[in-house]
Structure 1
Amino acid sequence: MIDPHLYHVPRLGRHPGRFRLAGTPVIIVMLGSALTALPFVAQSPVMPPFGLLLLLAWRLLRPELWRAWIGLPLGLFDDMLSGQPVGSAMFLWTVTLIGVDAFEHRLVWRSYRQDWLIACLAIIFCLIGGWFFARITGGGEIRLLLVAPQMLWSILLFPFVVRQCARIDRWRVMA
């Protein structure tokens, strides 16, 4: 006779694997950075920086997940795929994460609107910083006004990105 317990594995008391817990957010941010490699042709920057949006979403959703130095390797990966000057996203993402940490330590509690405001400030800082780095390294004559649609799209898309990260996070911690 076949044991019925062989086909049903109880999920109670089980824990997800270490790679699933620690690796999923990193892989998701890297996939977001890889979206810039899609063959999308535009005359001005309109595509949101998905790597940055996912980094901020994970950081604001799970503050205990990463330290501020995670901006260095993820920023390097983003710089390599996006074509920005090497070190720009590394610097901007790390400074952004340090700023989010400092802002978080000052607040007793945070609401959804405060998270969105933090993300808006971080997105604006990173996009203006990326524009500045591209300009000083000889990236051409790009006016700051051309980056405004990218900022607007990124800010409006952020709640959707957070919701998707929350869904992935639910799967990530589920046994």
Structure 2
Amino acid sequence: MNQKGPRLGEPASLWRMRAVPVATVMIASALPLMLPLVASSPVLPPLGLLFFLCWQLLRTEMWPVWIGLPLGLWDDLFSGAPIGTAIFLWTAASIAIAYLSQRIYWRGFFHDWAIGALLVAIVQSIAALLTHPHAETGRVLGLVAPQIIVSILLLPLFLRLTGKFDNFRLKRR
């Protein structure tokens, strides 16, 4: 008897389960370099950070807490920030999400949006201050504020996209 569809109880592809989340973050981190966009101030949201936070919020148990180290290094290579900026900040965000996941048992969409918005604002602000250490704090934060606002407003879209990628990741062969 020849069956064409997946068998009942058959697990999803192990390769897809591991590769899809990492690939989405890595491609999103490299994507701004591929776009023909010239701006005098940062306007494009940090796509890699948004996908990283959304994966962490959606599937907290999927990655170890230290996953911010290699993915942050990848983002540092493409963002132009000093090496170690995203490594430190993404790992700290991952620790914060793991801590909050243990404290808040019933999280909903608005909880995830609030946690993501807070972390995006903190990570982007600290990254801007670390990237420009000799500039005035008010000017640096004023320069990065539109990028933070756009990122926070796009967070629900990225949560939805991450859910779609997660459905693809878990789909049986």
In the alignment, which residue of structure 2 is the partner of 1:17? 13
Distance 2:61 2:8 in 1: 24
Is the aligned partner of 1:37 residue 2:65? no
Identify if the C-alpha distance between structure 1 residues 10 and 68 changes in structure 2 by more than 3 Å, giving closer, same or farther. closer
- State the Cα deviation string for residues 46-75 of structure 1 (Å, max 9, x = none): 100000000011111111111110000000
CA drift at 1:122: 0.4
Alignment of 1:1-175 (within 5 A): 5=2, 8-38=4-34, 39-136=36-133, 143-175=140-172
SS at match of 1:143: helix
**Rg larger in 1 or in 2?**
1
Task: Look up the equivalent residue of 1:92 and give its one-letter code.
Answer: L
Determine which structure has greater relative contact order: mean sequence separation of CA pairs < 8 Å that are 6+ residues apart, divided by chain length: 2
Distance 2:10 2:98 in 1: 32
Distance 1:5 1:117 in 2: 50
Identity of aligned residues (%): 43
SS at match of 1:58: helix
CA RMSD of aligned residues (A): 1.6
Distance 2:67 2:5 in 1: 36
The answer for unaligned runs of 5 or more in structure 2 is none
- State the Cα deviation string for residues 129-172 of structure 1 (Å, max 9, x = none): 11111112x6x675310111100000000100110110111111
TM-score by length of 2: 0.92
Task: Look up the equivalent residue of 1:56 and give its one-letter code.
Answer: L
On the 8 A contact 2:129/2:140 being kept in 1, the answer is no
Task: Look up the equivalent residue of 2:51 and give its one-letter code.
Answer: L
CA drift at 1:117: 0.5
TM-score by length of 1: 0.91
